[in-house]
Chains A and B, each alone.
Chain A
């Protein structure tokens, strides 16, 4: 049963514009959320995270928003750059350190 869902398998954005990647979760016990970036044939690399006690966390061009009542989080990238093209995974954690991943959203930033 998929507890973390990324319903958009792909997204195409023009360079310089905002990229918004969405993620929904079903388990209310999750209290920490992370976004990972993954290139083909490589492992995921950590991008940004947010604790359930916050509703926003910002790091440079990347901002993650958390709406606990809706069990929804989103990753905003602004401005988007061609080098941001990759697959982005949303992950959630509750008890323990194991992560529950979504299926990923493939972002393509076009020049």
Chain B
């Protein structure tokens, strides 16, 4: 399968600070990437769809001003959690859709980023 990386893998920050998480597709170019979050013992919940060169599409209930997504290149999407609070502590996972077919099973996931806000 294809390789998608995330950085950092684990971050601890103080309440009120901003944290940037990077998602990179290492061996293919991805025009579409997705950001999910997972709370303990819960499912992965889609937060937003990130399209290269255009604005992200956010799911209902996700604050776009709090979770800033930038997909500036075909191999990199970033998620910035602004003014993080303890309730933002979660496991954030990105995925990238591999062309050309973009079939459902061509969505490859990164290893995730564990965010802990103190």
A binds B: yes
- Report the stretch among B65-73, B80-88, B103-111 that lies at the interface: B103-111
Cβ–Cβ contact B105 & A42, under 8 A: no
Question: Given the complex, which residues of B lie within 8 Å of A60, measured CB to CB?
Answer: none
Pick the residue among A36, A44, A98 that contacts B49 (CB under 8 A): A98
- Give the complex CA separation of A42 and B5 in angstroms: 10
Residues in B with CB closer than 8 Å to A96 are 49
When distances are taken between beta carbons in the complex, the residues of chain B under 8 Å from A45 are 1, 109
A72 at the binding interface (Cβ < 8 Å): no
Chain B nearest CB, measured from A68 CB (Å): 17
B7 → chain A closest CB, angstroms: 13
- Asked if A97 and B107 sit within 8 Å, CB to CB, the answer is yes
| Interface footprint category on A | 20 to 34
Cross-chain contact of B104 among A42, A89, A97, A103 (Cβ < 8 A): A97
- Chain A residue with the shortest CB-CB distance to B48: A98
Q: Is the CB of B109 within 8 A of A9?
A: no
A59 nearest CB across to chain B (Å): 11
The chain A residue with its CB closest to the CB of B38 is A101
Q: How far is it, in angstroms, between the C-alpha of A34 and the C-alpha of B105 when the chains are bound?
A: 7
Q: Is the CB of B109 within 8 A of A89?
A: no
Assess the B43–A42 pair: CB atoms within 8 A. no
Q: 10 additional contacts, CB 8 Å, given A41-B112, A46-B105, A98-B34?
A: A4-B43, A41-B9, A43-B6, A43-B95, A49-B104, A96-B49, A97-B102, A97-B104, A99-B34, A101-B44
Chain A residues at the B interface, C-beta cutoff of 8 Å: 2, 4, 9, 32, 34, 36, 41-46, 49, 89, 93, 96-104
B interface with A by C-beta (< 8 Å): 1, 4, 6, 9, 32, 34, 36, 41-46, 49, 93, 95, 97, 102, 104-105, 107-112, 114
4 nearest CB pairs, A to B:
A43-B109, A101-B43, A101-B44, A103-B43
